Amino acid sequence: MVCGNFGGLWFDVFLIVCVVRTCTCLTFKYHNNSELEQVLKNFTNTTTNIKTRLENIGNSFNRIPLWAIELTAAEENTLGVPNIKLIGNIHGNEAVGREIILNFMEYLRTEYDRNTTIQWLLNNTRMHFLPTMNPDGFAVSHEGMCSGEYGRNNGKQGDVEDLNRNFPDFFHDNKIPRQPETVAVMRWMDRIPFILSAGLHGGAVVANYPFDTVKEESWKTLLRRIEKARNSQEEYRLRLHYLASKPINPPSLTPDDDVFRHLATVYANNHLTMHKGVICDNGKKFKGGITNGAAWYPFSGGMQDFNYAKHGCMELTLEISCCKFPRASELPHLWEENKMALLRYVMEAHRGVTGQLLDSVTNLPVSKANLQIYGRNMTFHPTKNGEFWRLLLPGEYQIQVDAPGYYSTLQGFTVRNFSADQLPSLTKLKILLLNSTIPTTPKAETPPSSTPTIGRDLRETTAEEGQTTTLLEFNLLGHFQRSADSKSEYSKGLKPDIFSCFLSMIIIEIFLFVVL
């Protein structure tokens, strides 16, 4: 009997140890860099209801690994699935973001099997998380440090470079030496076509949207002063003086300002307090809890500007706590303030357009092209699979495609509106590009035209499980119309045009007769 009880006791102890070792055991505390790595590994090992992928995207100045984790329930090769990323702790002494991200990951995993909205989100989205971009600065910062610059930057003492001033700038030549953390994130962006992003900061409560940088000559003096004074108390003094004097700065607006204002408003309105215009110690009040970056204070080399200008990824800088490094006891409240705002924000990745560029003859993806939404002078590019995404508000738009070796194409499409109780759905396009070696009309009629081809809007909308897909065909000056491939992810519900097919056959026969 004694031996039996003794054996049972050891079994219970063994079982408890196993549970402890495999559980993420996430608590409201600041996890140091070693603990953070272990939390992410445990999270990956213990998640069974959704797919996870943990990778080291690079190392910090002090050779600390930068761990990023992907979370999704989407099928591996499904087209049109948007990629989203959340990055925390860009400034080492602004620590709340790294813990908010960990709690958001845990929330998504826990709620997946019982919350239909989160289930839809993960089934149709690829979520990526980088809880800390600056483990160096975090390591030398201290809980309770609400202000100051100590630990803000990377390096052994957190005083080397400001990582949010270290990216290539849209208007200026950024000569600050590129840091390993910045290079790692830039390479990460090169590999994954992120469409929506957020960087989590501290020291204010506001949703900040691009541009932070300014083009005007009058601001270059200020930018030079700040650059020369960086990593010193003088820079901190300059910024305090700048904020305290409350100058009226002109905003630096992007061609997609309406979308950025919408995204910022979505976050602020779903945050428990941000939309009220919280006043922190610097005395600045932001109407509606949002601000254009340059209208607050301008600087060059920011990460959100680089995301947008280089990759077409719309990123906000989310300032989520007045105190940069508040006591751990405040983390539960800060999590509750930001939980719904984060959820509603990432859902916005499904408001806009996605599509694929294909060769009209081979049906193979076209990966090298410049794309613009007509009237919005900002170029973006497709992936190696010819896929593209763009966040847009409801309305009528045209997309211009310029690909080497193909006729220029202008294609119309519609972005639907969705009510508050509806799940959004991306408008899906399939754009067939005609090789420029193929004449646009038979030689017997007219010489080849140099006029860009126009993609006419031949939409057919199908409603399936509450989602609307807009399908577009390539129409070459009204003479050449191809039906979309019924097997394509972007072609569900499209029906062939019998008359156009018959007309195309006649044209092809005439063309072959003339050539042969």
Q: Return the active site residues.
A: 319
Q: Which residues pair with 395 in a beta bridge?
A: 415
**CB count in 10 Å sphere of residue 57:** 19
Contact 488, 472 (CB under 8 A): no
Q: Concatenated DSSP letters for 349-410?
A: GGSEEEEEEEETTT--B----EEEETT----B---TTSEEEEE--SEEEEEEEE-TTB--EE
The Cα 253–Cα 231 span in angstroms is 28
The Cα 266–Cα 276 span in angstroms is 13
Encoding tokens for residue 289? 């809890």
> Is 46 exposed, middle or buried, given 0-12, 13-18 or 19+ CB atoms closer than 10 A?
middle
Q: Please give the C-alpha separations between residue 158 and each of 68, 146, 228, 232, in angstroms, as whole numbers.
A: 21, 16, 18, 12
Strands 409-415 and 370-373: unpaired
Contact 369, 382 (CB under 8 A): yes
Strands 409-415 and 453-455: parallel
What phi, psi does 390 have (nearest 5°)? -155, 125
Encoding tokens for residue 455? 């993609």
Of the candidates 381, 371, 399, 354, the one whose C-alpha atom is nearest the C-alpha of residue 489 is: 354
Would you call the peptide bond into 211 cis, given omega within 30 degrees of 0 as the criterion?
Answer: yes
Grouping H, G, I as helix, E, B as strand and the rest as coil, residue 244 is helix
Residue pointed to by tokens 């989590």: 200
The Cα 512–Cα 478 span in angstroms is 20
CA 378, 80, 459, 506 dihedral sign is positive
